[in-house]
Structure 1
Amino acid sequence: MEFISVREEYAEGIIPREVRASQLSPVIAYDEEKEYFFNNDGTIGVGFMCRPLPGADQGLQDRINNMLNQAFPNDTIISFLLFLSPEIEASLGSMEQLRENFHHPLLSEIVKNRVSFLNHHTREPMISRGRKGYFNNGVIHDQKLVITLKIPIKDRLPGKKELEELFTAAEKLESSLNNIGFAPRKLDADLLKRTMTTLLNWGERSSWRLGEETWDETSPINEQIFDYDTDVEVKKTHLRMGDTYAKILSAKRLPKTMFFGDAIGYVGDLSGQGQSIKENYAICCNVYYPNAQKQKKNLDRKRTLTVNQAFGPLLKIVPVLGEKKESFDTLEKSMSAGNRPLRMNYSVMIFAPTLKRVEAAATAFQDIWAESKFTMMQDKFIQMPMLINSLPFGADHKAVVELNRYKTLTSEHATVLLPLFGEWKGTGTPHVGLVSRNGQFMSLSLHDSETNKNGVIAAESGSGKSFFANEFLTAYMSEGAHVWVIDAGRSYEKLCDTLEGSYVQFGESSTICLNPFDIVVDYEEDEDALVSQVMAMASPKGNLEEFQIAETRRLMANIWRHKGNAMLVDDIAEACLAHPDQRVKDVGSQLYVFTKDGSYGKYFHGRNNMQFTNQFTVLELDELQGRKHLRQIVLLQLIYQIQQAVYHGDRNVKKIVFIDEAWDLLKEGDTSVFMEHAYRKFRKYQGSVLIATQSINDLYENPVGRSIAENSAFMFLLGQTSETVESVRRSGRLTLSEGGFSLLKTVHTVAGVYSEIFIRSKTGVGVGRLIVGPFQKLLYSTDPNDVGQIDRYRAMGLSVTDAIYAVMRDRGELASKVDEEAIELADSHTRLLRSNRPRDSAPQTGPRLVPLTLPEEPEATAEASAAKPVSTPTTATAEEEVTP
């Protein structure tokens, strides 16, 4: 029988006592066959682990209201727990598992270091020093929504009828959760145990961190949720569980009005411009279902009394009667519309490793929630009961009355208040690991798409594009992917050198030959691409007539039939010059510069000798800056050449082509047919194309840009100006909601701290921050001081990895702890930066709906109905009668 040490504070001092762990949770057993939990408080229940909703709309509001308004048995309690959990082990495990079959001395170390960085910052806040001071990005978490349902039973064991009632209620709830989009996963004993141990054990060596998840069937579940080294100390205003402090707050007063969807603000400020809680916390709403008819009669009786008092002389003595009458009117109106009366509490659990930090977080919580008209109060003297009632299956029927924390409202009002929303978690596969503005771990992968695996990066200068590209490419290479970068600015020379890749340049002394016909495998399949390339040779601006193109196509096909892979540009030029029509002769003349006698001929005459044997190849066009036409043709041929490499390569190895500064060359002439062909080939053979440009407007200025945008399942937007965003919004080129455009305008970069990326994908939309540790900062840095220090250690014989760690050691960046003074300094700088930044209206996740008016203290709620405001009680508790 498991006991834990509980120390409670009394007037005469702290008196320790041994308490059975079972007193802190009622869950005793789990029936694996029938999938329900048996509790020692006279209840049975079921639960679901759900995915928080990343957005809202009116249809969603109706579905949630319908879910709450169902005919659940009397005295049912449904609990909604939104937990910003430190448990991201599954995601980090997937991150490592993706790379388990590939090893590289540096790339594997990058992944190991990245996983360590992310895991460390589930415990310690991410404190970074930028040009303007320190910045606190808070801790990394995973938002988990746990929904449990429990019903009372009369005897010690549940009867057949009671089980049928539970299963019927559970089926209704699960069906509704699926229809709404929560993707519910039914709680079993293992999942419940892991959830509970994560909530209650916060040490670095906690059992859940060590992978101990299995439920022991031989002992009660509630005796397995505390680790042996976790003791509990109960104080007047807080709890201590092991080395972690917890504080519980409750809503004394709820806002008078709220929009449906505003509850997404529970996880933090989506705009990135306001304050947010930097610690782990959980929001719990327990919804109690009283007998609807009795409750309605009781409310009618109290309303009648209150109305009579509100219109008499008593109103002058007790002015709160007026507000109380309004609250009863709000409830009456909502119930008349068919909404079920409920009772609900709203509480928050905050966790931090020190008392100072938990106190600071609680104060911040009260201040931030006050902006939304919540009055959050500390639960003095009842911290332990409030903790117990906030845990899964912990809500007690007796607590509805005894704790005095429940408010009366209807399903319509509860719909708006419930903690059902969260930030977008990313695409699903953690090839790249980002962090949301409020600390949610975000996964990102081009391969989480059922259409194509392509993407576009649009980034203004200085917004962190190169840093993001470095992270993206190394993340894929660490799994074994082959990557080709086509650049015209030497941005990837250092990374290529560090990874010992192939760095190919096209200077005057270059002996590279890119004869496209030498590597053709299927001429018919590649004909469009080859003809487009020859047409671009003849006319870089695409000023050829349809007749010229058609005749050249015919001549090329004829030459191929006779010469096959021995075909040259010279053969095409000669055939065109021999054509009787002057227009075709002109094409032959215009091809001269690419023949063996022309100034560009050496790059295309002879056997193709470009070989892609390295995992990472950078094709640098910077030395062709003065020869724009040649640079364009080289770019097209390189894309075609990579196509062939993808075709011949291992289908199980991912391939990525990244075109950075060279993108401008694709805008010249009519290359859209060529690019469409390229994208088809890459998609067919599981390749990915990433195109980078400065402005998103660039994509829509010509046919090739539009073709690229249409064939890209992903869009990564960094730091776009408001003018650019407005331009694409007005033109209708970019499909986003108004809230999406508002969100896009807030995307920014803080140098040395993070780069923000607005991600639009088929699976969702959101903003992720690329926050890296000192190892990756040094790896990707082009700062001469950083490069010099690394090179100094490499000259001593150290590997790149060891050299970076040596520099980190010299700078004192290998420390694992963050002191409170640094946190305070970072928070003060963060507040200063935000106070100086112009703040747009907070972006909405869905349509901005008309606010729902809530009942005040009696039962305050908040919501938004699409067409009309709805009221709810807000001041005096509807359960209390005001008497003279």
Structure 2
Amino acid sequence: MGVFSSYFNKIRKLADYDKVDEMFGFVGYESDYYIMEGGGMAVMFCCQPTPGCNEELKNSLDAIFKKDYPADTTIQAQLVAIPDISYFINQYETTRGNRLMGNDNELTTSMAESLAQDLESKVHKDMHNGARLRNFEFWFTVRVPTAELLANDREEKRFRTLILDIEESLKGVGFAPNKLAPNNLLWRLQMLMNTSKDAIWRNSNVKPNACKTFSEQIIEDGNTVHFTPNGIITGKPKEVESDGQVKFETDNQTHIKIMSLSSLPDEIYYGQMFDLVGDWMSGGVAHGDPFMISTLIHYPEQGKAKSDIANGRKWLIGQAKGKILEWFQGLADQKRDYDQLWTEIDQRGAKIAHSGTHVIIFSGSAERSERSLAKMKRYFETKRITFTPESVLTGPLFLQNIPCMMDKGYSNYRRHSTYSSEALVFLTPHMSNWKGNTNLPIVPLSTRNGQIFFWDLFKTDGGYNFLLSAATGSGKSVLVNYIVNCYLNSGVKPGGSLLRKPHQKLYELPEFDDGAQVFILDSGRSYQNLAEMFTDSQFISFDNNFKYSLNPFPSIHQWTGDIGQGPMILTMFKAMAAPKHGVTEVQRAEMMTMLTGMWNELGQKSTVTIFVERCLQHPEEYMRQIGKQLMIFAEGGVYGHLFSDKRPAIDFDGRLVVVELEELQNDLHLQLVVILGVINQIQHKIFQGGTARKSLFLLEEAWQWMAGDKDGDKGALIEFVGEFLQAAFRKFRKVRASGGVITQNLMDATGNAVGQAILANTDWKLFLGQDPSSVDKIKNTQSFTASDAQFEQMKTVHTKKGSYSEIMIFHKQMSEICRLELEPETLMIFSTDADDRELMKKYRARGNGVKEAARLSVLEKHKI
């Protein structure tokens, strides 16, 4: 009872509210390890959780757990949901501010600021599945006992060798271990002890007090720790009632509850601990409050522990036979477990360990604490895993779970089981969601479990192109609007800030003006709202108000060479002359010769009409035939007004350029020619811009140019578009550009060579809601490489209209299902819903700007 007596004696001392630090056993810090009360050296590694598991990870952890540790060494393996995203917000800000100079700078900066504020608010409020925005960390702490308070030279040398070995093992499999110095550990402990919005740890300018010990600063000044029969409360006391109960200030209290693992399924697989984090498979259940999943490991003296197991096994062998097995069937199970344990430690060299797993929940109120505990317990039961809530042992067990504070006394609480070290990897909670591919985030999302996810198409060793596949109604247009907006308000150069603090508002920022330039080819006006939101954007539609010329020659600056546009102009003229049956090789060669001659002679003054006249005057009939086929595009022809040199060319100078093709839906030939002409000019604009900013080229409704048989009516048209897209996509990376093909079904990209080529040139694959049968077809045709588990997950991707949409992002072997949950006003701006668009039109017609129209539309919608 010595451990319990010591603990309760310390609790009694807390009645004065001024000796809280005596609960914590940190004595000092020696260069890179902590000196602990009672004798002990401890190192805490803060690691990145792994987004999954594999055999290499398993083997590395097995090797760590199998090491020859001194008797009473303890290890704490803890997955922690950190209620703080300040680092991510700071990184988000560094590419924002003054990125779209001109009339739209204030608007883009304002929208970036609104998004940052929305992200920060989600740390404190539940999203639709109960998750809150957070960052997961994996803490791995090793404590080795010492004979005295301070280690002798032999103990310290052995400890440093052991820690170095463990550190290298963690590095080798991607944990990115970082030894936490006192400042960083203190910040994390304060974070767990105080979930208040006004907690001091949230202020990055506040530094630890050098005049106080480490233990004295874990609990914020003025706060205390109160132990109840069912948990712990930390916070600022408001009053003490007559019965001794402490009342805390409403906005400054943290309720801590602990559950201990009671039972697991008969067979568990490596990776099953990920199930505890939340329902990652369907996204239906997620934990809201900050929490810790903690597996505690104690290594007893191996000789005695092995002797105890041998004796227990010997007794079972003598008992588990004959009639006794009929009366006590559990003996057979015990004997089997003992036999397996003995084989692992006696024949395979495994170590004996005492281990228990706990879940610790940190809530901001008593009501929320009870609800979170009940919700988590019920969820674990659906996974056939039983956790039992603790009562009077909450205090001592919590202290054992504080990094570095676990000692051999843990075994006295009887919350552990005896395992061989081979089993420990199955109990290690080191898995969480993929956090994204960049530390300078451009497109913020969140995973189903609330992990903040930062994504940038351009942060990859491969290509920047992407394929987005989404069934109708799955939120495709909202997502693309969101992606476009994020790139417009972000830049390439770091060093910016949104300057959201009042005292910083007058600070001057460099005029970076390096926000992206985005080009969208659409059919359906999904991006008209977005284009109208900006002053310097261009919305180009082929209606009666179209006053431009598609004559391609004025936009050409180089005919030959790596970025020469001559071959693409030839492809465009071939499509104009013979869209279905193509031209002969002789015609193709002569057309190229004539186009080159005209360019050399007239340059940018060349026109379609001049080329037609020269073809009609050609001595060979096969070229006069080409001239006749092109006459509809010359002056006086049906489409001649669209290619006339009497109209100005489209300059494509807007930072957001939306080309709307809806009016051309009934004329496939003209639509094809327009697309080729526009792609040619956009591609040249992108190449001309170089790498000073990012560029995006998005082709919406791309299914119509990727689906269908090569020999069908559209076969030749598809080939023309395919040639253009393939040529552009292969070159985009050189000029910091990304090509995005947006279609309804991935199978569209596998129906012909064009789709297959585009699929091969897109490293990023994005999937919104898909019909399950389509996913099965994709899997069966092997048109897309993914694991069986990934295909099953793909079937669960869904959208809840008006609330959120899910996106499964693939990049090489990595994948993650992310959620996009927007503020109602932003969602209104991006919405393509007919009712929403009518509301926006109504308030825009009254002279309101886009943001104000969105606000008024949301108000009216909620009244209906």
TM-score, normalised on structure 1?
0.84
Q: CA deviation at 1:632?
A: 1.3
Q: 1:79 and 2:118 equivalent?
A: no
In structure 2, the partner of 1:92 is: 89
Q: Contact 2:129/2:286 (CA < 8 Å) preserved in 1?
A: no
Are residue 307 (structure 1) and residue 317 (structure 2) matched?
yes
1:752 equivalent in alignment to 2:792: no
Q: Name the structure 2 match of 1:348.
A: 359
1:152 aligns with 2:192: no
- Out of 634, 646, 649, the position equivalent to 1:609 is 649
Q: Which residue of 2 aligns with 1:493?
A: 528
**CA displacement at 1:745 relative to structure 2:** 0.9
Q: Is the 8 A contact 1:9 1:234 kept in 2?
A: no
SS of the residue 2:408 aligns to = coil
- 3-state SS of the aligned residue for 1:544? coil
Which of 49, 59, 64 lines up with 2:61 in the alignment? Answer: 64
Q: Residue 596 of structure 1 aligns to which amino acid in structure 2?
A: E
CA contact (8 A) 1:632 1:666 kept: no
Q: Which amino acid aligns with 2:527?
A: Y
The answer to whether the 8 A contact 1:52-1:143 is kept is yes
Match of residue 158 from structure 2: 165
In the aligned structure 2, how far is the partner of 1:37 from the partner of 1:545? Answer: 80
**Partner residue of 2:451 out of 413, 423, 440:** 440
Tell me what 1:701 maps to. 751
Aligned partner of 2:91: which letter? S
CA contact (8 A) 1:267 1:423 kept: no
Against the structure 1 CA distance between its residues 782 and 253, is the aligned structure 2 distance closer, same or farther, given a 3 Å change threshold?
closer
Q: Which residue of 1 aligns with 2:701?
A: 661
Is 1:724 aligned with 2:781? no
CA contact (8 A) 2:282 2:793 kept: no
> 460-469 vs 518-527, which deviates more?
518-527
Q: Quick one: which of 662, 680, 687 aligns to 1:647?
A: 687
Task: Please say if residues 456 and 714 of structure 1, whose CA atoms lie closer than 8 Å, have aligned partners that are also in contact.
Answer: yes
Instruction: Name the residue aligned to 2:736.
Output: 686
Question: Is residue 363 of structure 2 the alignment partner of residue 324 of structure 1?
Answer: no
Q: Please give the secondary structure, in 2, of the residue aligned with 1:670.
A: helix
Using the alignment, how far apart are the partners of 2:219 and 2:844 within structure 1?
A: 49
Q: How far did 1:720 drift?
A: 1.1
The one-letter amino acid paired with 2:773 is E
Q: Is the 8 A contact 1:344 1:408 kept in 2?
A: yes
Contact map agreement 2:17 2:224 (CA 8 A) in 1: no
CA apart distance, 1:390? 1.1
C-alpha separation between the residues in 2 aligned to 1:669 and 1:523? 25
In the TM superposition, what are the counterparts of 1:549-698 in structure 2 within 5 Å?
A: 549-577=588-616, 582-606=621-645, 609-649=649-689, 651-661=691-701, 664-665=704-705, 668-671=717-720, 672-698=722-748
Q: Which amino acid aligns with 2:725?
A: M
For residue 826 of structure 2, give the secondary structure of its aligned residue in structure 1.
helix
Q: Is the 8 A contact 1:454 1:714 kept in 2?
A: yes
Matches of residues 266-285 of structure 1 in structure 2 within 5 Å?
266-272=276-282, 274-285=284-295
- For residues 804-843 of structure 1, the aligned pairs below 5 Å read 804-805=854-855
How many angstroms apart in 1 are the aligned matches of 2:802 and 2:262? Answer: 41
CA distance in 2, matches of 1:579, 1:592: 14
SS at match of 1:53: coil
CA contact under 8 A between 1:78 and 1:150: conserved in structure 2?
A: yes
| 2:121 partner letter | H
- 2:434 maps to 424
| Matching residue of 2:508 | none
| Aligned partners of 1:427 and 1:764 also within 8 Å | no
Deviates more, 1:784-793 or 1:735-744: 784-793
Give yes or no for the alignment of 1:338 onto 2:337.
no
Deviations along 1:48-105, one digit per CA (max 9) or x if unpaired, are: 2111111223343223212322233332222111011211111122222221343733
Deviations 1:22-66 (A, max 9, x none): 3343234334xx422222241112222111111223343223212
How far off is 1:250 after superposition?
Answer: 0.6
SS in structure 1 of the partner of residue 719 of structure 2: coil
Matched residues in 1 for 2:76 and 2:665: separation? 64
Query: Is 1:176 the equivalent of 2:134?
Result: no
Matches within 5 A, 1:180-579: 180-212=173-205, 214-242=207-235, 243-272=253-282, 274-311=284-321, 320-335=330-345, 336-400=347-411, 402-428=412-438, 429-479=440-490, 480-500=515-535, 501-524=537-560, 525-541=564-580, 543-577=582-616
- Aligned partner of 1:711: which letter? N
User: Would the alpha carbon gap of residues 673 and 783 (structure 1) be closer, same or farther in structure 2, given more than 3 Å must change?
Assistant: closer
- Shift, 1:542, TM fit: 5.8
Q: Distance in 1 between matches of 2:366 and 2:197?
A: 18
* Preserved CA contact (<8 Å) 1:503 1:617: yes
Using structure 2 for the length normalisation, give the TM-score. 0.86
Deviation at 1:584, TM superposition (A): 4.6
1:122-161 equivalence runs, <5 A: 122-126=123-127, 135-161=128-154
Which whole-Å CA distance do the structure 2 matches of 1:105 and 1:9 have between them?
61
Distance between the aligned counterparts of 1:244 and 1:9, measured in 2? 23
Pairwise CA distance, 1:418: 0.9
Change (3 A) 1:786 1:489: closer
Q: Given the superposition, is the C-alpha separation of residues 779 and 331 from structure 1 closer, same or farther in structure 2, using an over 3 Å criterion?
A: same
SS in 2 for 1:443: strand
Match of 2:32 among 31, 35, 39: 35
Q: Distance in 1 between matches of 2:837 and 2:179?
A: 52
Q: How far has the Cα of 1:598 moved from its partner?
A: 2.5
- The Cα offsets for residues 340-392 of structure 1, whole Å up to 9 and x where unpaired, read as 22221101101222222222222222222233332211122011111111121
Q: Identify if the C-alpha distance between structure 1 residues 490 and 801 changes in structure 2 by more than 3 Å, giving closer, same or farther.
A: closer
What is the identity, as a one-letter code, of the residue corresponding to 1:767? I
| Post-superposition offset of 1:585 | 4.5
Q: 1:245·1:353 contact (CA, 8 Å) conserved in 2?
A: yes
Query: What secondary structure sits across from 2:430 in the alignment?
Result: coil
Deviation (angstroms), 1:202:
0.3
Q: Pick from 767, 786, 790: which aligns with 1:740?
A: 790
Q: Residue 793 of structure 1: CA displacement?
A: 6.7
Q: How far apart in 1 are the matches of 2:373 and 2:802?
A: 29
Distance 1:626 1:789 in 2: 29
Which residue of 1 is the match for residue 120 of structure 2?
Answer: 119
- The answer to whether the aligner puts 1:105 opposite 2:106 as a matched pair is yes
Counterpart CA distance in 2 for 1:424 and 1:410 is 30
Q: Deviations over 1:581-605 (max 9, x none)?
A: 6555443333232223432233223
Per the TM alignment, residue 484 of structure 1 is displaced from its structure 2 partner at its CA by 1.8
Counterpart-to-counterpart distance in 2, 1:290 and 1:84: 30
Native 8 Å contact 1:113 1:775 kept in 2: no
- The answer as to whether partners of 2:437 and 2:454 remain within 8 angstroms in 1 is yes
CA distance in 2, matches of 1:664, 1:415: 50
Cα separation, 2, equivalents of 1:602 and 1:757: 43
Report which stretch shifted further, 716-725 or 676-685.
676-685
Say which is worse superposed, 243-252 or 286-295, in terms of deviation.
Answer: 286-295
Partners of 2:137 and 2:789 lie apart in 1 by: 24
For 1:131, the equivalent position in structure 2 comes to none
Is the 2:661–2:671 contact (alpha carbons within 8 Å) kept by the matching residues of 1?
yes
Shift in alpha-carbon separation, 1:227–1:542, aligned structure 2, 3 A: farther
CA distance in 2: counterparts of 1:734 and 1:691, whole angstroms: 16
Q: Distance in 1 between matches of 2:283 and 2:454?
A: 23
What letter is aligned with 1:604? F
* Distance in 2 (alpha carbons) for counterparts of 1:583 and 1:151: 89
C-alpha deviation, 1:240, in angstroms: 1.6
Contact in 2 for aligned 1:49/1:187 (Cα 8 Å): yes
Q: CA deviation at 1:727?
A: 1.2
**Equivalent position of 1:20 in the other structure:** 19
Query: d(CA) in 2 for partners of 1:154 and 1:722?
Result: 62
